[in-house]
Structure 1
Amino acid sequence: MALRTPVNETDYLFGPSNAPIELVEYGDYQCPYCGRAYPIVKDLLQQVGHQVKFVFRNFPLTKIHPQARMAALAAEAAGLQNKYWEMHDVIYENQKRLHHTALLEYAVGIGLQMERFSADMEREDLAQKIDSHFYSGMRSGVSATPTFFINGEKYTGSWENDDLLQYLKSSFPL
């Protein structure tokens, strides 16, 4: 299946925007599988990051992960202060503590302006962006998290261990 909503200016990019490999992850900040995938993706980006443009899109499975949406809002609000990836990392590194007070602590820890952060957490346009990510994932065939797309095509192989890295190395000249 193909990625129905191409990467665009509303997405936060990690890595060079002109990288030959585009890796999109639909994830849920409270999902234990996404938590396991986080260090794997981080390691992959350290090894071949100059060749990869990474995009994380929110796919909060709120029925089973009630704190995932608030964590996604925290990351998006941090992004408005140019700290999206810092908040993304601290959320995954503290995945067992995603209640509101913890998210505020993380925001302080990464140096956010707190009055602005708190107000931004309530912004309707950020909630709509998360909904947009979710619905674009559904249209693209996402039914579980994490789900990866490589250069616009759904990746159906294993992401565990170094399987995803080995797939990229065997499929693209890195």
Structure 2
Amino acid sequence: MGSGILSGMKRVLRTPVGASDHVIGEASAAVTVVEYGDFECPYCAEASSGIHLMLLRYPGSVRFAFRHFPQEDVHPHAVLAAEASEAAAIQGKFWPMHDRLFRRQRNLTRSDLNAVAREIKLDLAAFSLAMDGHVSLTRIKAMAADGRKSGVRSTPTIFINGKPFDVAFDLQHLYDEIDKELAALGK
């Protein structure tokens, strides 16, 4: 287990965070944390609670973006869960779906996802239409392809201001890296 920014790595975030990303925080934030994640990955679920704490610790200074990297070979429901989050995003409810998917990652069948859609009060007809039509599948695959171009091989993979961060972190290492970035920017 390491900590901090991965040394000697040539990986770099290829696509900057933009309008099409799922983001919490202001574009003017000094530090941007990007996660490539998989809703069925237990390590991503663990990271999710740490990300929430990070956002509470650095209000206004840090923004967070989540990008899909479903690992279908080991997580058979990952793509379906990603599609459900995108179907919720169409209705402006990506983050409520995101949070519930991580809390319920052992229950990601279509009927489970429909239940979550009801719980967060989505228009169920629109949700079903998006799911049945796989309207976001191309977007999900594009995020994963972009992740591979950035050197992502597993989940969660985290970048801090475009640089890879070792996910074998504890929260203090994450905070230390954010503090270094803020200090370097005079914030």
Q: Shorter-chain-normalised TM-score: which range?
A: over 0.9
Match of 2:109 among 99, 111, 117: 99
Structure 1 residue 124, shift from structure 2 partner: 4.4
Structure 1 residue 122, shift from structure 2 partner: 3.1
TM-score normalised by L of structure 1: 0.94
1:17-73 CA-to-partner distances (Å, cap 9, x unmatched) read 211111100001001111111101111111113211111000000010000110000
Unaligned runs of 5+ in 2: 1-10
3-state SS of the aligned residue for 2:101? helix
TM-score normalised by L of structure 2: 0.88
Map residues 108-147 of structure 1 onto 2, 5 A cutoff. Answer: 108-147=118-157
Paired AA for residue 118 in structure 1: S
What's 2:50 paired with?
40
- Measure, in 1, the Cα distance between the counterparts of 2:59 and 2:69: 23
3-state SS of the aligned residue for 2:59? helix
Structure 1 residue 83, shift from structure 2 partner: 0.3
Paired AA for residue 83 in structure 1: K
Structure 1 residue 97, shift from structure 2 partner: 1.0
3-state SS of the aligned residue for 1:43? helix
Structure 1 residue 111, shift from structure 2 partner: 0.8
- Tell me, yes or no, if structure 1 residue 69 matches structure 2 residue 76: no
- C-alpha RMSD of matched pairs (Å): 1.4
What is the aligned length?
174
3-state SS of the aligned residue for 1:121? helix
Identity of aligned residues (%): 36
1:29–1:92: 8 Å Cα contact kept in structure 2?
yes
1:28–1:145: 8 Å Cα contact kept in structure 2?
yes
- Tell me, yes or no, if structure 1 residue 54 matches structure 2 residue 64: yes
Match of 2:161 among 151, 154, 170: 151
Q: Which stretch shows the higher mean deviation, 49-58 or 132-141?
A: 49-58
What's 1:167 paired with?
177
- Tell me, yes or no, if structure 1 residue 87 matches structure 2 residue 68: no
Q: Which stretch shows the higher mean deviation, 120-129 or 21-30?
A: 120-129
Structure 1 residue 125, shift from structure 2 partner: 4.2
Kindly name which structure, 1 or 2, has the bigger radius of gyration based on alpha carbons: 2
- Tell me, yes or no, if structure 1 residue 9 matches structure 2 residue 19: yes
Q: Which stretch shows the higher mean deviation, 2-11 or 17-26?
A: 2-11
1:40–1:162: 8 Å Cα contact kept in structure 2?
no
2:83–2:134: 8 Å Cα contact kept in structure 1?
no
2:15–2:146: 8 Å Cα contact kept in structure 1?
yes
- Measure, in 2, the Cα distance between the counterparts of 1:15 and 1:38: 15
Q: Which stretch shows the higher mean deviation, 40-49 or 26-35?
A: 40-49
